[in-house]
Amino acid sequence: MLSFDDSETATELAARARAFMDEVVIPTERDLAGGATASDGTISDLRRQAREYDVYAPQVPEEHGGMGHDFRDVLPAFEQAGRSLLGPTAMRVDAPDEGNMHLLELHGSDLQKEQYLEPLVAGEMRSAFSMTEPMQGAGSDPKMIQTTAEKDGDEWVIDGHKWWTTQGIRADVLLVFARTDPDAHPYEGCSVFLVPTEADGVEIVRNIPHIGSEMTGKGHAEVKYDGVRVPEEHLLGEEAKGFQHVQERLGPARLTHCMRYSGMADRALDIAKAYMTEREGFGTPMAEKQHPRYAITDHEIRLGAARSLVRTAADEIAAGGQARTEVSMAKVFTANVVQEAIDTAVQFCGGNGIARDLPLADFYEAVRPFRIVDGADEVHKRTVAREAFADVDEAELDPVTRFGE
C-alpha cells in the first residue's frame, strides 16, 4: 500500500496505536452488545491501558499530561484510533475534547490550564464547544451569532440559545462562543468563555435525538444561557478575538477528524474484504468477482488520496500557515470518500452489514453527520471556490473563442 513521508516518530507511534487497537480496544468493542454505550469504568480501563502502550494524549504537551508530539506526527496515530468508535476516547484524541484542549493550550491562562486543561487531559473532566445555534442563529454561517456576553463590573453576563453542543449533556465545562461587541463586525466582536455547566442560568435542555452511534455516550445537547455570570478571568484568550481563536481550533480539528474517519473506513473495508473472502455466491467467493474487487479498489485509491490531502494541509499548518483552502479540500473530500467506502462495505456484507454484530452499522450512522459537522460540504466548497476564482486570468481565453468577437 501507499507509504507517506511520515517521520520515524510518527511511524513508531502509529505502530503502537495499531497494536493497542488490535489487542485492547477492538476486543473490548466486540464484548459490548451491538450499539451499547461503554461504561465509564470501561473507558477508564481503556485509558489506563493506553498509557501502558504509550499512546495516551500524544498531541498534548508533556507539562500538561500528554506525550508532547508534533501535530504532524500524531496524525497517523489518530487514524489508527479511528478504527473503532472507542479508540479516540481511549487514546484521549476524541472530539470535542481534543480540539478544546488544543484551544486551551494555545490561549488559556496559567490558571485556566490548571483548572481545565490538565483535568481534561487526565480524563477527570469533560468539555463541550458551544457555538451552533438554532435557526436563525450561528451555524454554517457563524456570523449570524445571536448569543451575547456583556461586561458587568468584573463579570461577564451571557445570554443565548445553543444546540448541537457535542458532549454538552455530560460536560463539566462549556466553551461558549458569544458576541461581545454588538457594533463591530462579528469577525471582530466575538469572544470565547469558559462556563462551568453548574453555573446558575445554564440549562441543559435535552440531548437532541440524532443519527449516530452512542457507543461513547457523548450526545449533542441543546443548551440555554439565561443571565449566566462568569468572572472576567473566564474569558479564553483575547476579547473580540474569538473568531481568530476558533479558526485556530477548527483547522487542525478538521484534519484530526479526517484521520479518525479514514481509519474507520479502512477497518470497514477490511471487514468487507474478510467477509467477501469467506462468503460464496453463485459458485465462487465474492472476493473473486470482478465488480466487488474493483469497487473495493476504487475506495482504496480514493482513501489514499484523502490521506495525502490531509498531510498536505497539516504540513502547511505545521509551517505556520492557516491552510484554510487545503483544510477545506481535505475535509469535504475525505468526508465523502469515507461515507462511500463504509456504504459499500455495508452493501457487500449484506444482512451482516446492517446487523449490530459487526461495527459497520455503527460506522454507517456515525459517518453521515461528518458531511455536516465541522462545516458542511457546501461551506467548504465555497471556500475552495473563492480561492479558485480569486485570480482569474482572462488572457487564458483565446480572442477567437470569445462570444461576440
Helix (H), strand (E), coil (C) string for 93-135: CCCCHHHHHHHHHHHCCHHHHHHHHHHHHHCCCCEEEECCCCC
**CA–CA gap between residue 192 and residue 111 (Å, rounded):** 16
Last residue of a domain, one of 236, 271, 295: 236
**CA–CA gap between residue 267 and residue 275 (Å, rounded):** 12
Residue pLDDT, tens place only, 341-352: 999 999 999 999
- What mean pLDDT do residues 281-288 have? 92
Query: What are 180's three cell numbers?
Result: 461581545
277 & 295 share domain: yes
Residue pLDDT, tens place only, 118-163: 999 999 999 999 999 999 999 989 999 999 999 999 999 999 999 9
210 & 331 share domain: no
Q: Check the CA dihedral 109-97-69-335 and report its sign.
A: negative
Picking from 20-34, 373-387, 390-404, which range would have the lowest pLDDT averaged per residue? 390-404
220 & 252 share domain: no
Domain assignment of residue 395, yes or no: no
Note whether 366 and 339 are within 8 A (CB): no
256 & 347 share domain: yes
DSSP assignment of 152-166, as one string? ETTEEEEEEEEEEEE
Per-residue pLDDT at 34 exceeds 70: yes
Q: How many angstroms from the chain centroid is the CA of residue 98?
A: 8
215 & 146 share domain: yes
The predicted pLDDT at position 405 comes to: 54
374 & 248 share domain: yes
Q: Check the CA dihedral 347-352-355-358 and report its sign.
A: negative
User: Where is pLDDT greater, at 405 or 45?
Assistant: 45
Work out the pLDDT band at 402, boundaries 50, 70, 90: low
Looking up residue 156, the CATH number of its domain turns out to be: 2.40.110.10
What residue numbers bound the domain in which 374 lies? 243-388
256 & 231 share domain: no
Looking up residue 71, the CATH number of its domain turns out to be: 1.10.540.10
The predicted pLDDT at position 214 comes to: 83
The predicted pLDDT at position 404 comes to: 55
The predicted pLDDT at position 391 comes to: 84
Residue pLDDT, tens place only, 285-332: 999 999 999 999 999 999 999 999 999 999 999 999 989 999 999 999
**CA–CA gap between residue 254 and residue 316 (Å, rounded):** 14
Please name the residue ranges forming H helices in 23-117.
26-31, 40-52, 71-81, 87-91, 97-107, 110-112
Q: Could you tell me where the beta strands, DSSP code E, fall in 142-219?
A: 148-152, 155-166, 173-179, 190-196, 202-207
- What mean pLDDT do residues 97-110 have? 97
Domain assignment of residue 273, yes or no: yes
% of the chain at pLDDT higher than 70: 97
The predicted pLDDT at position 392 comes to: 83
Looking up residue 317, the CATH number of its domain turns out to be: 1.20.140.10
Closest CA to 171 of 115, 201, 127: 127
The predicted pLDDT at position 401 comes to: 57
247 & 375 share domain: yes
Per-residue pLDDT at 399 exceeds 90: no
Residue pLDDT, tens place only, 230-261: 999 999 999 999 999 999 998 999 999 999 99
210 & 149 share domain: yes
248 & 383 share domain: yes
Per the prediction, the chain carries an average pLDDT of 95
Q: State residue 175 phi and psi, 5-degree precision.
A: -95, 105
Distances, alpha carbon 118 to alpha carbons 41, 60, 110, 112, 130, in Å: 20, 10, 11, 9, 20
The predicted pLDDT at position 396 comes to: 76
Residue 160, class by beta-carbon neighbours within 10 Å (0-12 exposed, 13-18 middle, 19+ buried)? buried
Domain assignment of residue 26, yes or no: yes
3-state SS assignment for residue 13: helix
Query: Across-strand partners of 195?
Result: 174
Per-residue pLDDT at 70 exceeds 90: yes
333 & 313 share domain: yes
**CA–CA gap between residue 395 and residue 297 (Å, rounded):** 41
Total domains in the fold of the chain: 3
Residue pLDDT, tens place only, 151-186: 999 999 999 999 999 999 999 999 999 999 999 999
DSSP designation for 189: S
Domain assignment of residue 107, yes or no: no
Domain assignment of residue 101, yes or no: no
Domain assignment of residue 2, yes or no: no
Work out the pLDDT band at 215, boundaries 50, 70, 90: confident
Domain assignment of residue 122, yes or no: no
Domain assignment of residue 112, yes or no: no
260 & 378 share domain: yes
